[in-house]
């Protein structure tokens, strides 16, 4: 008797698939998606046609052109990927409910008991794939796996790409998975892999033959035991709504922003975006962290720098800007320690995070006011209201532009928004919300 309980869908080369789908002339052709305009930036997605030339995620634009002179280069459109994500969800939910969204291109669906047989499950998978291609877009390919647990269903989906349709029942275990590399199994990261090797476990059968308490000891937490049960086909509880712990943005720097001054302009812009999102989520932040990565030199990698400033809980962008000024002064005093092997100080990446968050109405916010002068507190509250009003003005403008231009619209230059003078004319493609592996931004986040 079949014991299939979950369908796991993995959209193949998702970013590249959306770009091909929106441009019929790009369908069936080698294409990569990149984060910014530069011959040195690396692909964040590659179509299957590009992969045939040896082009993959992480291949530089220059190398991609060498491998395939006709490769199409497209700049990432994260807001569009979220829009298509919603269309795909609507289509999938025409066939069965979505249990959990793991990322922009990976979801799990719980099967009903009447759908648990191999024949019924595969029929549902075929309907889902056909519905996507016919109702959403012919370039949006997907692989689907079925299994007794979400982890096993994901492994089934990943076993055949692209366009796979695979069922993995308990009776198929463990022999169907005995050749899989441990590093390819979700839940076995580099740290766990080292601990497994130290315990003498080097292959799938070694992990399979562990006892639950052994797994708990190797993982160093109950997560190891949960992993064991999931791997053996038992359903385990997953927290579907983790609490937001930080709000931030990261940016790979182009050549015009590799200097310390250029990097600060970008860091300031990232901070303003993060502050807008903070207010959107009705959060207050108590700390700001900046992380810097220098570019590599010919004699080795450049340095890294990071620092944090703490302050009373706030939504005030002016206060955050003061904190970033203080952080930047500290950075300037440590530049000598960050030089690469050639003595250069080219900045490669900047990340800005607001954290130590509290929700509006939290007693900690009122407590913080007790330690501030009343005049300062009132001034901060006035500035917070001002920034909230500016957020609304910019969001209203973006909404009007969206209605006028539709999907193919071009984003108005930063000068069309209310912003700092230093940010006027700043062309940083999709500076704000980005799609992370474990988080899909809300469409409203792209209005900031």
- CA pair distance 193, 197, nearest whole angstrom: 6
The first and second tokens of residue 244, run together, are: 């937001």
Q: Say if CB 274 and CB 352 are below 8 A apart.
A: yes
For 297-321, give the secondary structure using H, E and C: ECCECCCEEEEEEEEEEECCHHHHH
398: nearest Cα among 417, 378, 375: 417
Q: Which helix (H) or strand (E) holds 368?
A: helix 363-370
Which value, in Å, is the radius of gyration of the alpha carbons in the chain? 24
Q: Say if CB 73 and CB 85 are below 8 A apart.
A: no
- Kindly report each contact of residues 399-407 with a partner whose C-beta sits within 8 Å and lies 24 or more positions away, as own/partner: 399/447, 407/22, 407/80, 407/83
Cβ burial, residue 213 (10 Å; 0-12/13-18/19+): exposed
Q: Say if CB 151 and CB 11 are below 8 A apart.
A: no
- CA pair distance 359, 342, nearest whole angstrom: 47
Output the CA–CA distances (angstroms, integers) from residue 315 to 136, 276, 327, 358, 381, in the order listed. 40, 9, 18, 10, 8
β-pair partners for 283: 359
Q: Which helix (H) or strand (E) holds 347?
A: strand 347-355
3-state helix, strand, coil in the chain (%, to 5): 45, 20, 35
Quickly list DSSP for 193-225.
Answer: HHHHHHTT--SHHHHHTS-HHHHHHHHTSHHHH
The first and second tokens of residue 204, run together, are: 């799938």
Q: Examine the residue annotation and report whether 106 is marked as an active-site residue of this protein.
A: yes
Helix ranges (H only) for 93-145 are 118-135
Catalytic residue among 19, 49, 91, 106: 106
Is the bond preceding residue 162 a cis peptide, omega within 30 degrees?
yes
| Phi/psi at 322 (5° precision) | -65, -40
Q: Which residues are catalytic?
A: 106
């Amino acid at each position: 008797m079949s014991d299939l309980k979950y369908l796991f869908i993995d959209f193949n080369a998702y970013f590249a698939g959306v770009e091909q789908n929106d441009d019929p002339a790009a369908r069936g052709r080698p294409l990569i998606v990149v984060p910014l305009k530069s011959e040195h930036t690396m692909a964040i997605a590659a179509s299957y046609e590009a992969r045939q030339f040896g082009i993959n995620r992480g291949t530089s634009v220059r190398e991609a052109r060498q491998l395939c002179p006709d490769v199409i280069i497209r700049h990432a459109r994260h807001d569009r990927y979220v829009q298509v994500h919603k269309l795909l969800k609507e289509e999938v939910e025409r066939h069965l409910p979505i249990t959990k969204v793991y990322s922009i291109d990976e979801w799990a669906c719980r099967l009903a008991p009447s759908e648990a047989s191999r024949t019924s499950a595969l029929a549902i998978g075929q309907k889902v794939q056909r519905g996507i291609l016919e109702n959403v877009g012919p370039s949006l390919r997907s692989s689907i796996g079925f299994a007794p647990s979400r982890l096993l269903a994901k492994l089934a989906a990943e076993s055949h790409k692209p366009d796979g349709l695979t069922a993995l029942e308990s009776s198929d275990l463990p022999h169907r998975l005995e050749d899989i590399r441990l590093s390819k199994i979700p839940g076995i990261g580099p740290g766990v892999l080292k601990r497994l090797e130290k315990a003498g476990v080097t292959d799938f059968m070694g992990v399979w033959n562990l006892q639950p308490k052994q797994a708990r000891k190797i993982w160093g937490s109950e997560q190891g035991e949960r992993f064991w049960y999931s791997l053996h086909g038992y359903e385990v509880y997953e927290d579907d709504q983790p609490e937001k712990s930080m709000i931030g943005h990261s940016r790979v720097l182009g050549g015009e922003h590799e200097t310390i001054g250029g990097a600060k302009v970008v860091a300031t812009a990232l901070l303003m975006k993060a502050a807008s999102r903070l207010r959107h989520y009705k959060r207050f932040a108590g700390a700001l962290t900046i992380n810097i990565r220098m570019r590599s030199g010919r004699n080795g990698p450049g340095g890294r720098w990071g620092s944090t400033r703490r302050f009373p809980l706030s939504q005030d962008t002016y206060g955050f800007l003061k904190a970033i000024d203080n952080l930047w002064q500290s950075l300037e005093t440590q530049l000598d320690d960050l030089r690469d092997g050639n003595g250069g100080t080219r900045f490669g990446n900047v990340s800005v995070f607001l954290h130590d968050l509290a929700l509006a109405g939290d007693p900690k916010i009122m407590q913080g006011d007790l330690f501030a002068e009343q005049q300062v507190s009132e001034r901060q509250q006035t500035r917070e209201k001002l920034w909230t009003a500016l957020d609304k003005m910019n969001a209203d403008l973006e909404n009007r532009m969206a209605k006028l231009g539709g999907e193919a619209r071009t984003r108005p230059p930063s000068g069309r928004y209310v912003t700092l003078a230093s940010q006027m004319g700043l062309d940083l493609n999709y500076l704000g919300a980005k799609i992370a592996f474990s988080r899909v931004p809300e469409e409203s986040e792209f209005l900031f």
